[in-house]
Structure formats: structure tokens, C-alpha cells
Structure 1
Amino acid sequence: MNRITPDALYELLPAVHRLRDADEGEPLRQLISVLAREGAVVEENIEQLFDNLFIETCAPWAVPYIGGTIGYRTLYQVEGLPVGNRSEVAHLIGYRRRKGTAAVLEQLARDVTGWPARVVEYFERVATCQHMNHIRPDHHATPDLHDPLDFEALGGAFDYVTRSIDVRSIEQSDGRSSVGGRHNLPNVGLHLWRLLPFTHTNVPTTRIGPRRFLFDPLGAPRQLVNRPEAEESIRTLAQPVNVPGAVTRRALHADPALYYPRAFEIFVNNAAVPVEDIVACDLSNDGAVWNHSPHVDPLGPDVRVDPELGRIAFRNANPGDVRVTYRTAFPALIGGGEYNRAADLVNPPGLQMVEISDPTTDLDAELAQIQDGGVLVLTANEVFTAPTTLTVDSGAQVIVRAADGVRPILRATQPLLISGGADARVTLDGLTLDGVAPAAPSVSVDPDPAGEMLTGITLRHMTLIPGQGFTRTGAPVAPEAVSLAITATGVEVLIDRSVTGRIEMADTVNAEIRDSIVDAAAAESIDSAEVRAIWGLNSDDPAGALTIIASTVIGQVFARAFPLVSDSILFARSETDPPVRAMRRQEGCMRFSFVPRGSITPRRYRCQPQLAIDQAIEAREIEIGGPLSDAERDLIAGRIARWLVPVFTALSASAPAYAQLHLMRPREIARGASDESEMGVYHQLFQPQRETNLRLRLEEFLRFGLEAGLFFET
């Protein structure tokens, strides 16, 4: 259908009317323009009605109606995720044609949860006595010890080693192999990968020596992961190339072409290194040097790669400009990254825009040109020298951000000092800040020379590395260092989908933290909760009013007030000071969050572990028919407080599963948020709802007599 335009509609009028209209100043043309605009609305609506006939193009509201024509049953809506009913309805007829097969269950798991999946029929991996008329030569009762590659996959989705029978119920696995059984004839396992692959495109490496380089520009060890390749058909089962699994040394050695350049690619002087020159190698530390480096064999491969540590060793010294493209894993789209941020990019009208791709550009000079208002956009995956001063005129707004799909790194040698006049605002978006001078904050918000105060600062999709940087082992360079210090008074702070270290602020500063991680970064990650995360500028002074929504704070918190803490984890412990403390307990509320025992806070609503303690005491009082003594109450409280604490997969910011709740976490935290999702920063993923949806679908498509269990690979 041709789109209705004012000119096309006006040309349909007789020429005599158009001539007279021109003599009168074209009032008829203006009327036709109004009619054309309304006609275009009607035309678009008609086209949408036609699109609504097809599941691929219909509006979201029409999906359940199309599904209803083929008997589709809706599930829990997972808001804000690229999964839902559309893909299920599109594949439903195909599901039913192959109902009960492993390939359908695998596709179903991907469509329902959005996680890559691999289905394993465990009857094929149970040691059995074979019938002599139907011998299976590949079905060995014992593994072949000659090939160590087979043993790397033990316990995973691609483990082909047979086992003796396990009669425990696989349905009780809850994602953990140690809880439920696997190897039994009626058992089917759905293995799921929850971590997302993050791409780093054509980024500079970290040079360690003449021959040694690190993939990560930040200098941390990185586990490389595979870029998932779409399966050609619903009839096939996923293979290692179809999932974002970790690339191991042995797997890379067995088939370099399988992962190069899918998982990583190396460029020397802008020329890609051919796969024939790549070999897997163990480049772990051997004293002050690396294993197997340097290598001087003239007949051997030119480049040795350790995909488990993210290391590269060249045969020849000083090979040139080394850049890489590689993939790592992370639980969610937060912090600086190349993921899609288009929905959050804002360009206020009237502000000049400056785009910079050259890493040698003086950013201080560029920021000085737009201090009366402007947008500075970094458009390249480069390591820029961080600016030292960002000053904003009164009433102006300055935005410093990364272009969509780009992850620039700002490397600092001294703090970034931000100041501005009255009604001035600053936004930092999509950047990664690495390094700073010792004993100084990464970002400092101060009054301007005239004594005026900045009105607001926003950190969105930012990474202020906890500990200000990484050592070669991935530990923080400066444990407990301050990432953000705000000495200006009356500033409104928004931290949204970001990762930051310790924060210090004046008691008149109000901060809102959403979908973010605030990590005090102790030297040993297991002790991170012992140090202070958000505090006043002096140890005896509180921060301002803190609003914390769906975030994870690792460390102690001392604030003037908590207007609202919801769906969050405040992970801290202290033997001397309260781990979380509010000066004004009459203001605000804490709800559906983990708040450590001994904290001094406003009133709490369904917060753990206090909720579990109260419920246990109430149940005990009902059981004995009377009140408990103080000693009995303390005994119950102490027993519950010891086990009802968050358990994380990793607390190091360089780890792939950073701040992710461990599979052994208490259910009260994993499903304790206001909408029965998990508490903390990954509340936004709605993982419990996705798991529940999959279990509901399995009841419909699993063959009678079989049992299914879910196992999380990441």
C-alpha cells in the first residue's frame, strides 16, 4: 500500500482548484496536509491489522489471541527480556509434531527462558548390560583414559562418560548436580547457560613484555567464551559451538578452527593472524615468567594462546601493534560494554555534540569547549587518557558518553574532578574508568571555585572498577579505595545499571542506586563485606539519604536515612559497628531485602533474615502454646542467621559470575523479592520466573514416564 502524502493527495485535485488555491496563499494545501496526516494514521492502522494476522509481525497484544487459535496456554510474563510468548506460539505446531523428543525440549527451553540449552537423555549414559543382538560399540562401561579431553566435560552437558545408575529423583536437582540424581533410564536433563556472552571488538591488548600480552585492556585474567552459533534446524541437538561455553586449553588444542575466530581473533598491525599460526598452551605463571614462554622453535606455531587466562605469547619479540576481538561472559547488561544501550541514550535539544575516536585527543580541552552545555561522545574501542577536570556552567548540562555498541576505557592517573554552578547537571554513560593516583578517589564531585554546587550527577551503564583496577591475578589494585567521593552539598546522585567501588558523600547528598553493584573491594574478596562501602566523608559522619532499588551492596553502609530499600542485598558483617546503620530510623522503609542482623534501620517489611527468625519463633510459640524466653529467642535467631546469608558464585569484579547468587543460596533470598524474583542486582533477570515457566511447559511436552531436571552450567 502506498503511503498517503500531502503532495500526492493535493495532486489529485483539479488544476483549476490548485491555481485558485495558490492565488489565495494555499489554505487548501494546508487543509489537505491535515487530512493526509490523519489518513496516514488510518492507513498505518490498516497495515497493522494485516500484520496482526502473522505471529512474526503482530503487535504484542495480539500474540495470545493468535496462540488461542491453536490452544496455546500463556505463562508468567517476564518483563523487559527478549523472551516470551511470541517465539513459543511461532514454534508451537512444530513442538507438537515432535512432542516428547529431545530436540523439541531443547528448543522449548530456549524459547521459554531465553537461555541456550542442551538436552541430555541420561538413559544413553547409564552403564547397562547390552543385548548381544543389539551391541552398541560406542557405549563403554568405563571411560577411555587415553584422551583427557573427554574428562574436561565431566559433570557437564557434554559429558559422555557412562555411570552406574542413580535412583535419586532428578526433579529435585534445583540446578545442582549434588542434590538430585541424573543417571537413570527415565531421566532427562536440561542444561542451561545463564551468563551472557559479551563481545570486545578490535580492542588494544595489555603488553606485559616484548612477547607477552593480555587480551583484556584492563590487565585482568579473562576466561574466553564461545560465540553461540544458531542451530540449522529444530531437529538437531546443541553442540559446543551452539552455546556460550568456556573455551578450554584442551578444546582449543583439539580443534583451533572451531573457536578461531568465533571465540577470539588476534590482529598484528591490522592483519588477522591465520589459524595455522595459533596453538593452545598453558601460559600460567611460572615464578616471574609464564610457562612455555618464550618459545623459540622455528618450526612451531607463531602464537600461543591461553584461553582460560586470556594470555598471548609470540615467538618473536615486538611483533607490532597487537589488537584482539574476543568474548567473555557476564550475568547481565550492566556496566560499560558493547551491548545495545540505544533506549537509554538521550541527546537533549540544543546541545552541541562532539564525537571523538582518536585516543590521543586531549579530553580536558574538549570538555572545556562544552562547559556551557554539550555532549561528548567517544566512538571507538580505545583506551583514552581520562580527563582531570569537568566543569559545568550554571544551568548547563554536560553529557560524556560512549557511542552505542562501543566500550571506551578512560585510564586515569589522577582523579576526575567534577564541579558546576547552580542547576548544572553531569551525566556519565557507558564508560569504564580504570586506575587513579594512590589514596585518591576515582571521581570527585566538588564545589566550583565560586562556591556554587552542582545540582545532579548521573552514572548510567558505568564501570568504576572496585579497587580502581586489577592486578595480574584479578584482585583489586587498591583495596577499599574510594570510587566516588562527593564533597559538594545538596547534590542529587543517580547510579543506574552500573558497577562501582566504595562511595563517600556528604550528609546532604541524596543518592538513588538502581540495578547496580556497589562493592567495597577488600583485598580478599571473601572478606569484602568487612569493609565500608557507602559512608560519610569522615568515618563518624553518615552519608545522605540513600534509595537502593534492586541492587547489591557489598560492604557496610552508614547513611542519614533510607527513604526506600527494596529488592536489594546489603551484604556486610561487623563485630564492632552495625553493618547497616541509619541516623533517622523514623524515615523510610526497607522491604523484601536482605539486611544483616544487628543493623540499625527504619522499619522493615519481609526482610531477611528477620522474617525467617520471626516465623520460626512464632511457629515455636504455637507448638509449645506460650511465649519463648529471651534465651530461646536468641538461640533461634542465631541458628537462622548463620545459614540465611547470601552465597555468591564470585565476589571478584574480574570473575565472569561476579555477584551472582550461588546455586547453594537460600531459597528465601533466591525468591524473596517483591515479585518472587531474586534479591539483588540480578533481580532484573527474573530467573526464578523463567525457571518456573520452563517447568510448567515440561509438564505439557515431556513424554509420559520421564522425569526432567534443570542444571545450570553457568
Structure 2
Amino acid sequence: MSALATRNQDRLYDLLPVIYRMRDAEQGYALRDFLRVLSRQAEVLEEDITRLYRNWFIETCDEWVVPYIGDLLGYTLLPEAATLGEEGAPVLRLGRVLAPRADVANTIDARRRKGTLSLLQDLARDAAGWPAHPVEFYRLLGWMQHLDHQHPHRGRNADLRRPGPLQDLRFEQGAFDPFAHTVDVRRLASCYTRGRFGIPDVGVFVFRLRSYRVTMTPAFVADVSMNCMTFSALGNDTPLFQLPEPLDDATAISRERHLPLPLRRYRYALRGNNADYTKVSPALYGEGKSTLLWAPDWPNKGEGMPVPIERLIPADLSNWKGLVPRGSVAVDPESGRLMFPANQRPKRGAWVSYCYGFAADLGGGEYGRKVSELENATRYIVHATLPSTDPQQPWPAGHFGSIADALAAWAQAKAKVPEGQPPLRALIIELAESGVYEGSIDIQLGAGEAIQLRAAERTRPVLRLLDIRASQPDAFSVRGKPGSRLLLDGLLITGRGIDVQGSSDDEAQTVASEDLCELQIRHCTLVPGWSLHCNCDPKRPGEASITLDSSRAALRIEHSIVGAIAVISPPRRGEPPQLTLCDSILDATGVQRVALGAPDEAVAYVEASFRRCTVIGEVQAHSVLLAEDSVFTSPLRVLRRQRGCVRFCYVPIGSRTPRRFHCQPDLALDAADQDHRESEQQRVVPEFCSLRYTAPDYARLADGCCEEIRSGSSDHAQMGVYHDLYEPQRETNLAARLNEYTPAGIDAGILFAS
């Protein structure tokens, strides 16, 4: 609701003397209605005056005012900032990168601090939005020190009796390397081979991965033994990240504890430098810290809520080997594994809180997101099993212990609506905790009915679809009637896929329009391959995450990670249904598999659209209406080429597409001569850090990827799902600021630590 609608509409009318209001009441309030019109216009004028006043200040001004205030201060804008439009969400997001509000606000303070080391990390935070760790490399040079001016904290020789610091050599590209080095004559900013350890070199290590919190979720019992568990509820290995601590002093240099970094065994231990794996560091375990463990009634009745830090032992569980003493639990932060004593397993299970690393707000996660609300909707709250849950305690009205119970209550509520009353049409099922919700789900929607299954704010619920019935697959089954909709928001679904069922052959002969209208998936993860082995390999790599079985429902996927999509055409086709993917990853678990196709036909009978997506696998579709700023790792084959457009995308050689505009490698091959076409074709290919789901660098373009793809989108950002991170613009912005605020004679460069 707008601010104008919340104000008193009769404020001008209330200023009139009582005698006039009495006479107006006798004549039907004509004067009051007239003054309400004037009051609305006065409020619009006041709002405009207030906005003009706010635009004088960088903290409260509109986005379009930020470059103008920066120009008054002599703030150097990137050239692209002058070409920004005035409308469109992507343009606004790009404007925040090219002219960051915080960077403009701190311009005067940055000029006063020019030449200080702490300013460099502030520039990375304000200009690029990246946490950073600056390093003066001359302090790491090996040189003879005067006995009267010793520097014991500078670079030194390696102590082989302390294996902990040896891990810093390659950890995060050497950002915390403590050892002495010989002088490197190569420049840090060289475009050929970059040197580091030069006297004038200053490196700014930036960390692009983020730490995402998972709060009180069940630990998964591994297939190895009942006493072996994983932090991940999917049962796979995952490196744990630390929860960054805020800087105590604004001018202090960030250290390892202040940055979103993966945890290491030696640092997880209390005496990490000496590799004394007997105690866990209290800075990384506890309430509000990076990790926390609950094991109700373990090892004794009434204990384990949470498990005390004295019972934890840092260990290497990469091979699931080791003897854990009674009353203790071994924790491996690098693989995300837990091991209890074999003869002292937790009978009621274990719950964990931890952090994982990822690059963006994508898929199911405990990050802030905008949630759409259904009008006039009934809301049910479903709870997961927690360590403190009492199974004998009844749920209050509107609260349930499973999604199936909530759906059954909804069916009863619809049946009890009295005649003459409007029927119930909208339902919101909200999953309250970041736990695991098990079972099978079968949703039957009536005509005009809408159901939203969503995560509560700042939660990441896991839907584990169990294989219970032997005679048929236990999928997330959905079936609807005309005008019905299903919305999924903020979920992580594992175990099976979503099966959208349309009309059968017999029903299609009588009623062809009996079908679900729309399925919308937002900020969800449908695990590619259904579920994972401990080494992160998919258990069912050939299975689809979404199956449109004889359904004409429109499918829309936004900011999500999904596996393959299979389309079984309906008996009566008509126009192909719409399939839209925006800012998402479509992963067939391999570039040689089919990401979008039909199991019984040559192509999927859909009209697809891809915007800012990364597709791992082959796409076989009837038509593509639009493909924009996307990366296709395997050929894109379309049956109907006369309709649609592919623009600013990478499309492999051998694809059959509609007309293309500014696509790669087409542009590179057209610009190369005949002798270099083969080498150009091999050069202009997408290079990824990892294509394995659950990896922190999942589907990210490698830093060594060619510029045609890293900055080849319509607004010169990178192609693919991480387009809206605008990393090329952030890097250019930070490089310009370093050049502006670095003293003469100093060579400052950007080093990507993650």
C-alpha cells in the first residue's frame, strides 16, 4: 500500500469550523468529497517536495541522482554510466554497479585517506561490493634485517614442524602467505605474466564467494554406517564456510576471520598452527558462530542441546576412518562430515547449523527474497521436526506437522463452505523451519484454484520425496483444472522430480481443456539427478526434475537450479505451451545429456525462452521465442526456425536455431581469417570453474574464460546465470578506483582469491 493511501483523507476537512461541517452533513457531505480531491493533490505535491529534499543527500536520493552528486564531487564515473537508461530493472541494477552509492558517499573520506592500506579494502567493498584483503608484497621479501630494527612478523622461512602455515601457500591463491620470497621483477599489473613479490607491488585479494547460513537442519546419515553423517541434508560432501566477523576498527586490515572463507582443519582446531587436533576453536563453534551441533539425549539423557564444545574433535574424515572415543564426536570441516562413536550413536538423530559457499542468491537458501502474495488466501503453517519438538504436543489451529495434513485440511475446508458463499480459491502453505519435510505430495487443484507452497522468510526447507510405493514412482504429482496455478517458492526438493499430469487419452476425447494453467518455480532447487552420492555424483543422472506429462501448463522458472525437463506431448496439441527460464541453471548432469527434450519424440513440444541462463546439456525444442544473455554448453536444436531470436548468447557449433544476433562463436569466426578459424573456435568456448552441483563455484565462468563470453552480454556483463553480478563492471570500477587512490610509484593490482 502506498504512503498516500495510508494518510488521512479528511485532514483538510477536519480543519474547517464545526458549523460548516454540520451544514455539510445536512447536505450529504458534498464539501467533504470536494476537499478529499484537493487533499489527494496536496499529498502528491508534498510527496514531490519531500522527494526533492531527499535528493539533496546521497543517503536518501533516488538511484538516478547518484551520478549527479558524484559529478559535483569530481567523482570519476565509468564511461558506461553515461549511457544508462531511465527504465528497466536490469538497467537499475547495472547503475548501482557503475555508480555505487557507498563509493560516492565515501569519496571525500577516501581522498583524505589516500595512500593508506586499509583504504584499498574499503574501495573494494564500496566500489565493487567485494570483501578484500590488501597485501604489501615488499613485506614478504626475504632480506637481512638490522639487529636494532627487527621485524619478526614479516616474511620468514617455513617451519616444517608447524604444518598449519604451510597450507597458506595455496589457500585462496596465497592471500595469507606468511613466508619470505625472493624479489620478482615482473609487474603486478602486467598483461603478460603477472609478478607479485616486487617492492612497489600491492595486491588486493578480493573474495567473490559468499557465506550462506543453514540453520538447524537434520544431519544426513551416510550409507557407510549409522554413526557417519554429513552436514548437508542431501548426503553429499560440502566444504563448510565460516561466518565472517565484523571488523572491530574501520581502519583495521581484514584477516581470515573477517572474510567468507572455507574452514580448514588446522584453523578449526584450537591450536591450529601446531596441528593439535584435540579441541575445536570457540571462535568457530557455538551460538551465532560458524557451526553448531545438536544431538538430543546424547551421550546421556537430557544432554546434547547443543553438544558442548568439549565433546568435539577436529579430524580428517575423508576416508571415513578413525576411532572416535566415547562421549566425543569427530568433525571434518573440509568435507562437511561427522562421526559419532560406533557404539554410541545418537538415537534421536542430529541437527546442525553451518555455512556453505556460493556466488549468488540462487536456488533454495536462507537469503532475503521478494515473495508474491495470493489475494484472499488461507494460510497454513507446516513445521519440521526439531530437537525440541514434542511429538505428543498437539498443533494449534492452522498449524500442521506435514504438508499432506495441510492439503487434507484444505480439502475439508473447501467441502465445508456453505451454499451461497464464495468458494475457497487460494491457499498458502508456509514451511516454517529450515528442516526436512518427508513424504510424497499429491496436489489436485480445482478450477480457478491457486496453491502457493513456499518457505518462510530466511529459511531453507528441504522436501525429501520418499520412494514408498513399489508399484509406481513417488513424484511430486500435480494435476489441475482450467485457471488453476501452483507456485513453489524457496524450496529445495530432493529424492524425486515434479510430475505435472495433464488429461489422459480418454479424457482428452471429451474435455481437452481440463489441465493445469501455470506452474511457477521461484528461488528453488530441484536437485539434478534427484539425489546425490557422498562424492556429489548424481544417483539418477538420467532422470528429469520436471516432467510435463500430456500437460499444456505454462512453466516459468526464476532464480532456480533445476535438473532436466522432459515433455510428453498431449494427445491434442494445439499451440505449444510456454516454457520460460530466467536467471536459472538448467542442468542435465552432463553436457552429453538432454536438458530439455521429449522421451518419445525428436523435440519437446514447447515454446521456450531463456534469459540469463546457463544450460548444461542439449536443448531439443519445438521453438525458441527468445534466448538472451545465455550460455548453452551443448547444441541447441529447434524445429521451427522461422519464429524467435537468439541474441548475445553462446551457441555451440552444430546448433539449429532461429536467427542469431551478436552470438558467439559466430562473431569471432566471422572476424578471423580462414587460417585461424579453427583456433578461434577452440578459444571462444565457455570455461567453467565447476559443473558439479553443490560445488561453491558451480556453473561459474572461470577467470581464464575468453572475454567474448565473460563480457559478451547485451550490457557487457558475462553471459549466463551470473549475469546480474556484473563482475566485469565491478572489476573495471575497482581498477579505476585503485588507480585514482594509489600513490605514485605504487603498482596496485586485483587478485581474485575466490
| TM-score interval for Structure 1 and Structure 2 normalised by the shorter chain | 0.7 to 0.9
After superposition, the Cα gap between the structure-2 partners of 1:700 and 1:18, relative to the gap in structure 1 and judged at 3 Å, is: same
- Name the stretch that deviates more: 423-432 or 675-684: 423-432
After superposition, the Cα gap between the structure-2 partners of 1:96 and 1:450, relative to the gap in structure 1 and judged at 3 Å, is: same
After superposition, the Cα gap between the structure-2 partners of 1:412 and 1:366, relative to the gap in structure 1 and judged at 3 Å, is: farther
Alignment of 1:9-408 (within 5 A): 9-75=12-78, 76=80, 79-80=92-93, 84-131=99-146, 133-154=148-169, 155-172=173-190, 179-208=193-222, 209-253=225-269, 254=272, 256-261=281-286, 262-269=289-296, 271-285=305-319, 290-296=320-326, 302-315=328-341, 316-318=344-346, 320-342=348-370, 345-358=371-384, 360-363=401-404, 364-366=407-409, 368=411, 372-408=425-461
Amino acid at match of 2:265: R
Q: 2-side partners of 1:102 and 1:668: how far apart?
A: 34
Q: 1-side partners of 2:558 and 2:667: how far apart?
A: 28
Amino acid at match of 2:213: T
Amino acid at match of 2:428: V
SS in 2 for 1:338: coil
Alignment of 1:372-451 (within 5 A): 372-413=425-466, 414-436=474-496, 441-447=497-503, 450-451=507-508
Residues 254-306 of structure 1, C-alpha deviations (whole Å, 9 max, x = no match)? 27122223211122338233333333211222xxxx2224323x6xxx33211
Q: 1-side partners of 2:197 and 2:191: how far apart?
A: 12
- Name the stretch that deviates more: 98-107 or 66-75: 66-75
Q: 2-side partners of 1:26 and 1:293: how far apart?
A: 86
Q: Is the 8 A contact 2:499 2:549 kept in 1?
A: no
Residues 91-124 of structure 1, C-alpha deviations (whole Å, 9 max, x = no match)? 2222111102110011001111111111111111
- Name the stretch that deviates more: 686-695 or 426-435: 426-435
The alpha carbon displacement at 1:469 in A equals: 0.9
Amino acid at match of 1:499: I
Q: 2-side partners of 1:260 and 1:565: how far apart?
A: 46
Q: 2-side partners of 1:280 and 1:473: how far apart?
A: 21
The alpha carbon displacement at 1:353 in A equals: 2.6
Q: 1-side partners of 2:601 and 2:197: how far apart?
A: 56
Aligned to 1:536: 598
Q: 1-side partners of 2:197 and 2:595: how far apart?
A: 46
After superposition, the Cα gap between the structure-2 partners of 1:27 and 1:321, relative to the gap in structure 1 and judged at 3 Å, is: farther
Q: Is the 8 A contact 2:501 2:551 kept in 1?
A: no
Q: 1-side partners of 2:724 and 2:346: how far apart?
A: 45
Q: Is the 8 A contact 2:315 2:330 kept in 1?
A: yes
Q: 1-side partners of 2:38 and 2:605: how far apart?
A: 58
- Name the stretch that deviates more: 206-215 or 461-470: 206-215
Q: Is the 8 A contact 1:216 1:222 kept in 2?
A: yes
The alpha carbon displacement at 1:351 in A equals: 3.0
Q: Is the 8 A contact 2:445 2:479 kept in 1?
A: yes
Amino acid at match of 1:104: L
Residues 483-542 of structure 1, C-alpha deviations (whole Å, 9 max, x = no match)? 111123433221111111111114633311111111111xxxxxx111111112325344
SS in 1 for 2:672: helix
Amino acid at match of 1:266: L
Q: 2-side partners of 1:51 and 1:372: how far apart?
A: 43
- Name the stretch that deviates more: 325-334 or 586-595: 586-595
The alpha carbon displacement at 1:47 in A equals: 4.1
Q: Is the 8 A contact 1:120 1:189 kept in 2?
A: yes
Alignment of 1:632-711 (within 5 A): 633=674, 636-711=676-751
Aligned to 1:496: 558
SS in 2 for 1:272: coil
SS in 1 for 2:189: helix
Aligned to 1:625: none
SS in 1 for 2:283: helix
Amino acid at match of 2:325: H
After superposition, the Cα gap between the structure-2 partners of 1:8 and 1:317, relative to the gap in structure 1 and judged at 3 Å, is: same
Q: 2-side partners of 1:487 and 1:500: how far apart?
A: 17
The alpha carbon displacement at 1:386 in A equals: 4.6
Q: Is the 8 A contact 2:291 2:354 kept in 1?
A: yes
Q: 1-side partners of 2:603 and 2:102: how far apart?
A: 53
Residues 211-265 of structure 1, C-alpha deviations (whole Å, 9 max, x = no match)? 4322111111111111122223331111112110111111111271222232111
Give the gaps of 5 or more residues in structure 1: 522-527, 573-578, 618-632
Q: Is the 8 A contact 1:368 1:390 kept in 2?
A: no
After superposition, the Cα gap between the structure-2 partners of 1:12 and 1:611, relative to the gap in structure 1 and judged at 3 Å, is: closer
Aligned to 2:546: 484
- Name the stretch that deviates more: 481-490 or 23-32: 23-32
Aligned to 1:520: 588
Q: Is the 8 A contact 2:156 2:178 kept in 1?
A: no
After superposition, the Cα gap between the structure-2 partners of 1:366 and 1:117, relative to the gap in structure 1 and judged at 3 Å, is: farther
Aligned to 1:620: none
Aligned to 1:623: none
The alpha carbon displacement at 1:570 in A equals: 0.7
Q: 2-side partners of 1:61 and 1:647: how far apart?
A: 36
| Match among 617, 622, 641 for residue 555 of structure 1 | 617
Residues 638-673 of structure 1, C-alpha deviations (whole Å, 9 max, x = no match)? 333333321111111121111111122222211111
Amino acid at match of 1:400: L
Q: Is the 8 A contact 1:229 1:242 kept in 2?
A: yes
Amino acid at match of 1:166: D
Q: Is the 8 A contact 1:564 1:590 kept in 2?
A: yes
Amino acid at match of 2:346: N
After superposition, the Cα gap between the structure-2 partners of 1:319 and 1:280, relative to the gap in structure 1 and judged at 3 Å, is: farther
Residues 652-710 of structure 1, C-alpha deviations (whole Å, 9 max, x = no match)? 11211111111222222111112111111111111111111111111211111111221
Q: 1-side partners of 2:365 and 2:7: how far apart?
A: 42
Give the gaps of 5 or more residues in structure 2: 1-5, 82-90, 273-279, 297-303, 386-400, 415-423, 467-473, 509-513, 570-575
Q: 2-side partners of 1:113 and 1:471: how far apart?
A: 37
Q: Identical aligned pairs, as a percentage?
A: 34
**Cα root mean square deviation, aligned:** 2.6
Q: 2-side partners of 1:110 and 1:173: how far apart?
A: 25
Q: Is the 8 A contact 2:187 2:198 kept in 1?
A: no
Q: Is the 8 A contact 1:127 1:140 kept in 2?
A: yes
After superposition, the Cα gap between the structure-2 partners of 1:192 and 1:38, relative to the gap in structure 1 and judged at 3 Å, is: same
Aligned to 1:601: 657
After superposition, the Cα gap between the structure-2 partners of 1:693 and 1:394, relative to the gap in structure 1 and judged at 3 Å, is: same
TM-score (norm. length: structure 1):
0.87
After superposition, the Cα gap between the structure-2 partners of 1:585 and 1:14, relative to the gap in structure 1 and judged at 3 Å, is: closer
Amino acid at match of 1:180: R
Q: Is the 8 A contact 1:373 1:392 kept in 2?
A: no
Amino acid at match of 2:160: L
